[in-house]
Amino acid sequence: MSFTADRLLLFGATGDLSQRMLLPSLCALHADKLVADKVSIVGTARSDMDDTGFRNFAHDALNKFLPEHRKPAINSFLKRLTYQTLDANETAHYTALAGKVRPGGEGLAIFLSTAPSLFESTIAGLQASGLAGPKTRIGLEKPLGTSLETSRHINDAVARAFSEDRIFRIDHYLGKETVQNLLALRFANILFEPIWNAAHIEHVQITVGETVGLEGRVGFYDGAGALRDMVQNHMLQLLALVAMEPPAHYDATSVRDEKVKVLRSLRTVAAAETVRGQYGAGAIAGNAVPAYAEELGKASDTETFVAIKAHIDNWRWKGVPFYLRTGKRMTRRVTEIMIQFRPIPHSIFGGKGAHPVPNRLVIGIQPEENITVSLMAKVPGLDRGGISLREVPLDIAMDDAFAGPTRRIAYERLLLDLIEGDQTLFVRRDEVEAQWEWIDGVRDTWTENAIQPKSYFAGSWGPAAAVALAERDGVTWHEQG
């Protein structure tokens, strides 16, 4: 049902995500008048506070996390906020919440960023208090389970109260500008699509490197690990966008139909095609950082790094490996996709300096947003000994190309889409389940082969085995430190 919500209900309103991302994003949307004045925001969490207490809390968070030019909007934004203390397991608390949320109205958008263990009781409470009606949609933050089975359990619980067209599963990578730009690059240009296949692409690399470590998320991260924290969601979504067939339209059904086909075509991974790592002590940008086990306070066999050679078993990608790599405490923070094209079929140049290097397309997602195509060009000169060729980059920095428009953080877009009801950038149930199915396969392989994380130095690009994984195929990782 199409409606624009006039009320937003935030579960986990005092949490880290809310402080860093949700409240700042909502304030930015407010500052730019992108949400109607009538949209009220109710925060809820366990902390005992009244409306004023929550406004003070939000004020502090906004002061800390909003860029300076946004701060003048804080005071008027705070007027939208109210608060209701809630213990997710206390049915009676939902009645008070329902009163706060104002029954009736045009529609309600709920954003759940609480521990998944609370999802079921929260949904039951929402249903019992009449807050889950046909004019309510719900946004769900990850993690949505830890396996196919547990994710199905969560999805079933949500489906008992909400139809799929009212469920908005968040993968914040889909809210990133450059991730969406991938679709523009592929489908708004004639240049790439004819060669976007196994005949012309030799392999693809997707790297998500982070310099941060555990960041105090002891309870969550150690139970998850890099495979479930980063590959299951963000990296597989990037892979699906790179590999999918052209959707007929840019809408939720068409785009998600194509992504899920790719996810279902992923081949079960063999043990030799994966590397698990865990960072030891090291240094990043000249600063010493402790080992994972030291940050955690105990030994652990959780991986903080994963490299996988993935295969998509369909016509377009037959024989084209997708090398995926992500880790904490890497040399640099970088998210990028690299498309390695095949060599030209025949070189007409015979001179000593004339070795055409196969073209490469690098899509930088963060921290810099840029698109670089490496091309061969002739080195200027008289070429008495034959023509000389050199690789030169054709480089588009998105910041320079679009200096005017405001660059928005992922949650600004996702929250607006949730309020307005556009599901294109949210993950459908069949996608999440296909992602989990493949990830469960990787974990089974690890268990069957007793694969333990290999240590790597903090500040490096992961264990040597990750380099070997690519080098066995004559491939070098694009970011090699």
Q: Which residues are catalytic?
A: 234
Residue closer to ligand BG6 by CB (options 241, 354) is 241
- Which residue ranges make up the site for ligand BG6 (CB under 6 A)? 210, 229, 335
Closest-by-Cβ residue to ligand BG6 is 229
| Tokens standing for residue 224 | 């998850």
d(CA 419, CA 137): 8
d(CA 18, CA 25): 9
d(CA 48, CA 50): 7
One DSSP character per residue, 409-428 reads PHHHHHHHHHHHT--TTSB-
| Tokens standing for residue 27 | 């304030």
Q: At 194, phi and psi to the nearest 5? A: -65, -20
One DSSP character per residue, 288-325 reads EE--HHHHHTS-----SEEEEEE-B-STTTTT--EEEE
Q: At 24, phi and psi to the nearest 5? A: -60, -40
d(CA 34, CA 14): 24
- The conformational region for residue 462 under phi > 0 = left, psi -120 to 50 = alpha, else beta, is left
d(CA 58, CA 24): 9
- Identify the DSSP state of 330: B
CA distances from 145 to 220, 320, 357 (A): 12, 30, 44
Nearest distance, CB of residue 210 and ligand BG6, angstroms: 5
Nearest distance, CB of residue 152 and ligand BG6, angstroms: 21
Nearest distance, CB of residue 335 and ligand BG6, angstroms: 6
Residue closer to ligand BG6 by CB (options 66, 98) is 66
| Tokens standing for residue 417 | 């889409």
Residue closer to ligand BG6 by CB (options 229, 273) is 229
Nearest distance, CB of residue 117 and ligand BG6, angstroms: 17
Q: Are 10 and 22 in contact (CB under 8 A)?
A: yes
Helix (H, G, I), strand (E, B) or coil at 327: strand
C-alpha dihedral (356, 369, 481, 464), degrees to nearest 10? -90
Nearest distance, CB of residue 333 and ligand BG6, angstroms: 8
Residue closer to ligand BG6 by CB (options 229, 433) is 229
Residue closer to ligand BG6 by CB (options 97, 418) is 418
Nearest distance, CB of residue 373 and ligand BG6, angstroms: 24
Nearest distance, CB of residue 168 and ligand BG6, angstroms: 16
Residue closer to ligand BG6 by CB (options 224, 310) is 224
d(CA 308, CA 241): 18
